[in-house]
Structure 1
Amino acid sequence: MKKLINNPSDIVNQMIDGLIASSPTLLARVADSQIVIRKNLAINKVAIISGGGSGHEPAHAGFVGQGMLTAAVCGQVFTSPTPDQIFNAIKAADSGQGVFLVIKNYSGDIMNFEMAKDMAEMEGIKVDSCIVDDDIAVENSTYTQGKRGVAGTILVHKILGAASEQGASLAEIKQLSAKIIPNIKTIGVAFSGATVPEVGKPGFVLAEDEIEYGVGIHGEPGYRREKLQSSKFLAQELISKLKAAFPFQKNEQYAVLINGLGATPLMEQYVFANDVLRQLETENLNVVFTKVGNYMTAIDMAGVSLTLMKIVDNDWLEKLNYSVTTLAW
């Protein structure tokens, strides 16, 4: 294992230290915690909080800032933050208008965020939440019942963050989340496994000429292994799964998020983006928003995921384009 680290057991704390030290005007750390928070909190606006296990950088702390997340709670690598950590983030972020939690659909995350929500409500803080389950690869897998929450979570952060910045109430943000999440779907393909620093070896191993469709962001099993295929073939495979899940209708508007899983160069991501966008043209869809890059990674996993969001309301597109001040958007 070759890693640019000091002590594997201290990697999350040192990562947060480096994040804060390199962004002192934008971010702060809640004392004695693994919580990253906006340096200048919005007044009289709903706070948006997300988080989960570390190892998915830039998610979630890279999306903390004006117009997106108020705070992010960083658990240990691939491990949910504790209820106490999440509760402390809620208290630190609340400005009196309530707190909205964006939770990825993993058993540990749901349990701990819901416990923190109950703790906060006992102290009189208004809290609501949504659960993101955008991964269509498999219905049930390791860590979860139902579909997993993956890169589409970032689009939820973006839209709800814009809504908060524009003055939406807690109830309005809840209603918006319920509308957008069913219209966000993701599927990925892996070329190699992820190496958790404290474990020291990949969670799974693929042969040099082998890929796996539908692998989760913690290395959970996908739906098929086969020999390595071209970018164009992979685009067709993933789009075919997304087409069946929506399904597509001529002239519908879509947002596209192409997400690197950690070790896939941007050069290759843009090759894949070209193939995806050309394929979507043949489906007679209108792509009105595109992002390419590393947004929800799996440490050093090689691979990509493809997220499509059906734009049912033009206000969603306006919110995707809303100006933000964060490290990673």
Structure 2
Amino acid sequence: MSVQSKHFLNAPENLVVESLQGLCALNPQIALDVADKVVYVAKQDRSKVALICGGGSGHEPAHAGYVGDGMLTAAACGTVFASPNTSQVRRAIDLVENEQGTVIIVKNYTGDILNFGLAKEQYAAQHPEKSDKVKFVIVGDDVAVGKTQGKIVGRRGLAGTCLVYKIAGALAKRGGSLDEVYAIAEYVAAHVGTIGVGLEHCHVPGTAAGDSHLAPSEIEIGMGIHNEPGNRRLAPVPPLADLVPQLLDLLTSTTDPERSFVPFKGKDRVVLLVNNLGGTSELELPGVVRETRAALDKQGFVIERVLAGTFMTSLNMPGFSITLLLLPDGSDSSAPSAESLLSLLDEKPDVPGWKWASAAAPAPPAEQIKQTAGTRPAGVSQSTKLRVEDAKAFDAAVRRACKAIIEAEPEITRMDSIAGDGDCGLTLKDGANGVLKALESGQITGEDVVGSVIAVSKVAEEQMGGTSGALYSIFFSALAQGLQTHHSGASTLSPVLWSAALSSALTKLYTYTRARPPSRTLVDPLDAFVNALASSRGADLTGAVDKAGAAALQTRNLEAKAGRSAYVEGDRLKKEHIADPGAWGVKTILEGFVASA
């Protein structure tokens, strides 16, 4: 897959400062030192411990998005993926000067440790009386890098750092002492692990557009948040149900001498954080939560809290990470209690970067998923029983039409990515798969045409959705009505009856859509087919299908008047010279239906 290399900005060199200025407009309680790119709480309560974080930009909302009441006091921001320099960090320390002391929390990257550490030592040298008032916490939660490989540099800091910010920040707000805030930050840092996975690397604004790092069928496990290589690559991309257990094996292993970083014992109480690395859709992320929760339940873990969203990104990387915080089991008297950690985690900070999370453990799956079987209204009674002369040929024709749509999905999707919103091919494919299942289960059969048409209408309604699903469902519902209205006591479907029912269905459809041919929509081939069939009183099915095909092809030359294509700039449609995807779908269905067996 290609790397997304286009960005919204004025100039790359101004991006970080302009982003921080926008953040200050979003969060009036914070201020920005422009020269040193330090975001800080403008009216700090100096009777409480201050927390400083920071690092390279490009990980938003970390770090500046967590500055505010109840979390962090200041963040020193470097350029993209580059540590802030020592003077920037010194400025942050000076800005949060207070009575109780300061805790600096940094991710385990060499540049961050050196620059933040040097700033701490410079401050202590200039203020020896306060040398014990600044504490330093390093977070390394990445489990992708084994102990041997990382024996000198240690583990990289990833999204687990955000849990350290949150819990330590809440304790500082409560008035915890410097030693208490430092101790709880250290405890969380030592009991958190993270593993990430990406579909592709990210692109740094202002750099040349790079080639894809991964093949279209590859993913990379353990990729760092600065485009560092991962632990391994997998191909093809596995389904989540297979991928997530592999990630959790790396995260929770206690037998692998290279990766038993967190002292899990079995049936542990944990906090789960699923983090969007920047380019994963909000539709996909809850699916990751679902699979992770199921896999942890299977392993016997007790999930006390679930957090999900964008916490620490790698710019626009299409990927996610899974973080587990091991809660204390009560065996260590020096450790905080699990309840105290959860209480601190549950407090809502007044910062834009922290995502909503429930202050309760997730309900058991059996209680969470409400059973709705039997609650739908019963179907309309059906007294008309119509069959076709050759039921097997009818069933085979339906199967061909469905398979034709499934095979055509990529091309219809390509068309719709230009002329619409890109979902037409998948919507039709979903409908075709639903019809095939109904065919295999006997709900669709040439022995009961009216029942079959009603079944197709329900598939369109329930499995296709959207505009296409509604139009198909209305048309087939109206077709079922037409078959029952015009059957005149017949038990076998005739071409004349087919034609009459189709005409009445089209008439009913027109009461719900303003589209009329020529309109560059699916009604163009549908209208051509129905009217051509009516002119032959149902005798020339092949000729009617040919008329529909010609009408679908003609949509390449039409101005869009209805449907999603009406919102697409007209010159683009002319330049691409593509048919309407919905019209192409109708053409494909009809041609598949009449094709030779």
Considering the TM-score relative to the shorter chain, is it more than 0.5?
A: yes
Counterpart position of 1:66? 69
Counterpart position of 1:46? 49
Counterpart position of 1:308? 324
Counterpart position of 1:20? 24
Q: Structure 1 or 2: larger helix share?
A: 2
Counterpart position of 1:3? 7
Q: Structure 1 or 2: larger strand share?
A: 1
For residues 34 and 42 of structure 2, what CA distance do their matches in structure 1 show? 13
Deviation, structure 1 residue 229 = 1.1
Kindly name which structure, 1 or 2, has the bigger radius of gyration based on alpha carbons.
2
Q: Which runs of 5+ in 1 are unaligned?
A: none
For residues 279 and 320 of structure 2, what CA distance do their matches in structure 1 show? 9
Counterpart position of 1:119? 122
For residues 248 and 127 of structure 1, what CA distance do their matches in structure 2 show? 32
Counterpart position of 1:178? 186
* 1:319 to 1:202, Cα distance in 2 relative to 1, 3 A: farther
Counterpart position of 1:257? 273
State, as a whole percentage, how many aligned pairs show the same letter: 37
User: Match of 2:240, as an amino acid?
Assistant: S
User: Match of 2:282, as an amino acid?
Assistant: L
Using the TM superposition, name which of 117-126 and 72-81 deviates more: 117-126
Counterpart position of 1:145? 153
Using the TM superposition, name which of 63-72 and 29-38 deviates more: 29-38
1:321 equivalent in alignment to 2:330: no
User: Match of 2:326, as an amino acid?
Assistant: K
User: Match of 1:243, as an amino acid?
Assistant: T
Residues 27 and 38 in structure 1, CA contact (< 8 A), matched pair in contact too: yes
Counterpart position of 1:78? 81
User: Match of 2:251, as an amino acid?
Assistant: L
Q: Which has the higher contact order (CA 8 A, sep 6+)?
A: 1
* Among candidates 170, 175, 198, match of residue 167 of structure 1: 175
User: Match of 2:218, as an amino acid?
Assistant: E
Residues 193 and 203 in structure 1, CA contact (< 8 A), matched pair in contact too: no
Residues 163 and 188 in structure 2, CA contact (< 8 A), matched pair in contact too: no
Deviation string 1:127-154 (CA, Å, 9 cap, x unpaired) is 1111000001014779x81110010000
Deviation string 1:251-271 (CA, Å, 9 cap, x unpaired) is 321000100110001111100
* 1:250 to 1:146, Cα distance in 2 relative to 1, 3 A: closer
Counterpart position of 1:242? 251
For residues 26 and 160 of structure 2, what CA distance do their matches in structure 1 show? 27
For residues 312 and 210 of structure 2, what CA distance do their matches in structure 1 show? 18
Deviation, structure 1 residue 177 = 2.3
Q: Which runs of 5+ in 2 are unaligned?
A: 254-259, 329-336, 355-597
Counterpart position of 1:291? 307
Counterpart position of 1:205? 213
Compute the TM-score of the two structures, normalised by the length of structure 1: 0.95
1:224 equivalent in alignment to 2:232: yes
Deviation, structure 1 residue 318 = 1.1
For residues 15 and 308 of structure 2, what CA distance do their matches in structure 1 show? 27
Residues 141 and 156 in structure 2, CA contact (< 8 A), matched pair in contact too: yes
SS at match of 2:283: helix
For residues 349 and 211 of structure 2, what CA distance do their matches in structure 1 show? 35
Deviation, structure 1 residue 18 = 1.3
Deviation string 1:17-50 (CA, Å, 9 cap, x unpaired) is 1111232x22211253201111331231110000
Deviation, structure 1 residue 204 = 6.2
User: Match of 1:61, as an amino acid?
Assistant: A
* Among candidates 283, 297, 301, match of residue 281 of structure 1: 297
* 1:234 to 1:264, Cα distance in 2 relative to 1, 3 A: same
Deviation, structure 1 residue 203 = 8.5
Residues 102 and 131 in structure 1, CA contact (< 8 A), matched pair in contact too: yes
* Among candidates 121, 135, 146, match of residue 128 of structure 1: 135
Using the TM superposition, name which of 295-304 and 193-202 deviates more: 193-202
Counterpart position of 2:196? 188
- Within 5 Å, give how 1:102-117 maps onto structure 2: 102-117=105-120
Using the TM superposition, name which of 284-293 and 176-185 deviates more: 176-185
* 1:269 to 1:137, Cα distance in 2 relative to 1, 3 A: same
Deviation, structure 1 residue 297 = 0.1
Using the TM superposition, name which of 255-264 and 115-124 deviates more: 115-124
Counterpart position of 1:30? 33
For residues 234 and 328 of structure 1, what CA distance do their matches in structure 2 show? 28
For residues 203 and 14 of structure 1, what CA distance do their matches in structure 2 show? 28
Compute the TM-score of the two structures, normalised by the length of structure 2: 0.53
For residues 344 and 97 of structure 2, what CA distance do their matches in structure 1 show? 22
For residues 269 and 85 of structure 2, what CA distance do their matches in structure 1 show? 39
Deviation string 1:149-173 (CA, Å, 9 cap, x unpaired) is 0100000000110111111222222
For residues 201 and 56 of structure 1, what CA distance do their matches in structure 2 show? 20
Counterpart position of 2:286? 270
Counterpart position of 1:233? 242
Pairwise CA RMSD of aligned residues? 1.7
Residues 56 and 80 in structure 2, CA contact (< 8 A), matched pair in contact too: yes
1:100 equivalent in alignment to 2:108: no
For residues 310 and 69 of structure 2, what CA distance do their matches in structure 1 show? 20
Deviation string 1:160-208 (CA, Å, 9 cap, x unpaired) is 1011111122222222222221210000101011111121335961111
Residues 194 and 322 in structure 2, CA contact (< 8 A), matched pair in contact too: yes
Using the TM superposition, name which of 314-323 and 269-278 deviates more: 314-323
